[in-house]
Amino acid sequence: MVDEMEWGPELDELRAREEMAERMGGEDKVARQHDRGKLDIRQRIQELLDPGTFHENGKIAGTATYGPDGELVDLSPSNFVFGRGRINNRPVVLAGDDFTVRGGAADASIVAKQIAAEQMAYELRLPIVRLVDGTGGGGSVKTLDTKAEEAGSNIEGSIGKGARTYVPLNPAWDHVVANLATVPTVALCLGPVAGLGAARAVSSHYSVMVKGLSQLFVAGPPLVNALGGEQVDKESLGSSRVHTRNGAIDDEVVSEAEAFERARRFLSYLPSSVYELPERGPITDRSDRTDSSLAGVVPRDRRKVYKMRTIIESVFDTGSFFEIGKDWGRSAICGLARLDGWPVAVLSNDPYHYGGGWTADSSNKVTRFVDLAETFHLPVVHLVDNPGFVIGTEAEKAATIRHGARTLSAIYQATVPWCSIIVRKVFGVAGAAHTAANRFLYRYAWPSGDWGSLPVEGGVAAAYRSELEASDDPKALIAEITDRLNAVRSPFRTAEAYLVEEIIDPADTRPLLCEFANLSAPLRSAGPAGFPYRP
């Protein structure tokens, strides 16, 4: 029988190394992290994951210091911590930067750990949550001094021959890209994030910044200011306000706790990988619930706006709508919700912004969201009020039609079940993108439906230009023509020709959508999408 203490010294050393790793960057640097209002990496892991579920990989990797007899004196751990854990009792991979060790710079870390984290998510088919704090993959010129010291040079002499620079490479990037097509990927920016760390943050399905705590940039203020073109600080250069309004980051929150909660909720709508299907959640709302108040939401005056989110909150399971990217591309509304417990992707328009018309930004927002639905097998519900692409000089400068055509392609490439509810306007090329016309049109229209190649109000002047130029009273003629066209504008005339399938009482929208969700459930197929996710 082997003496249980035969390997006692080695077990003691293992525990000592683990304790050194848990000290992170040391007492002073951890205190500095807390003084900034930030949790340290191990606190973040504890707050995000189900209690007691974290199993760390490579905990004692780092830089060790040895005494003259080869005994361990100290261990400075890698500044990248990763492993497996559970969120809502589902396994995930969690990977986080430790800002207390060299500010999260990758050249103070062990690159193999970043690669392994992405590989683990890909090969075990598990969602990955990245807690990004620091360059998270970028470098520092301080590395040259470090390598000079390692080579034995003195600070006044020449750099030792062991020191060198390196050609930049991103060894984990192939797995970052592969994961976007395979597993849910979440990035939480929990401090200043630059360089490759910023690229890792935006290469995700869902990303969050903490207001006042997080900043994101290609290069930080010291480098920008050194160029002399402008003088900036972290907030003016890369605040959460900047990046949640330009589309780089999806959402802004006020605390790390809220960031963790949003990550947990986002993942709750998705499968663990594309090889599974989104699971049905608890049934918390009646599928036959109607809402007579919906008939009064859309004004009869087509020039007036209304709150589309009122409709969204009514027709989906109560409290289930999870909006994504609210502050960017604001004429489009995107989010996740449930119908009779089934997760679905929700796409809509917001009449308060450009009348709901698609801009270049909202087009890109919709493309990315449709790709998310297609990647993870989420049926799409599209609540439509789209007057077309936004027009004018600024729209042309933004290449709106280029971005819009890409959106149209994404919608036509999608194979997930799709249901459109025409709430009001459907005009032009953008309006036509409310569904793919080459598929069975699972579609309903409200009596407020209004459609055509161009709105009557704006189209008369173009279509009747010669008549108006020859008229003694153009205004009266416009009124006469408009009245004549309005006489055939009724959606019921469209339904007569079966050019719209069914006009419904708005009150009945939810029961019909719940039926759609239940019919769609067995139609979904697990496996990779026919095209890669476009970040």
For residue 170, is pLDDT > 80? no
Confidence (pLDDT) at 271: 98
Higher pLDDT, 197 or 258: 258
Question: Computed from CA positions of residues 147, 153, 155, 157, in that sequence, does the dihedral angle turn out positive or negative?
Answer: negative
101-105, 148-152, 304-308: range with highest mean pLDDT: 304-308
Query: CA-CA distance, 212 to 239, in Å (whole number)?
Result: 7
> For position 162, what pLDDT does the model report?
61
From residue 412, alpha-carbon distances to 79, 294, 344, 378, 407 in Å are 44, 30, 18, 15, 9
Q: pLDDT tens, 354-370?
A: 999 999 999 999 999 99
Q: Quick one: pLDDT at residue 141?
A: 57
Whether residue 172 is predicted with pLDDT greater than 50 in this model: the reply is: yes
Structure confidence at residue 153 (pLDDT): 40
pTM given for the model: 0.90
Q: For residue 84, what pLDDT band results from cuts at 50, 70 and 90?
A: very high
pLDDT attached to residue 154: 41
**CB-based burial, 39-66: b 16+ in 10 Å, e otherwise:** bbbbebbeebbeeebbebebbbbbeeee
Determine the Cα–Cα distance for residues 461 and 478; give it in Å rounded to an integer. Answer: 8
The answer for 341, left when phi > 0, alpha when psi is -120 to 50, beta otherwise, is left
Average pLDDT over residues 22-48: 95
User: 156 pLDDT band (50/70/90 cuts)?
Assistant: very low
On average, the pLDDT of the chain sits at 90
pLDDT tens readout for residues 446-494: 999 998 765 656 665 666 677 767 777 777 777 766 666 666 678 998 9
Mode of pairing for the β-strands spanning 90-97 and 80-87: antiparallel
User: Domains of the chain by range and CATH?
Assistant: 8-268 (3.90.226.10), 292-523 (3.90.226.10)
> Residue written as tokens 């035969």?
6
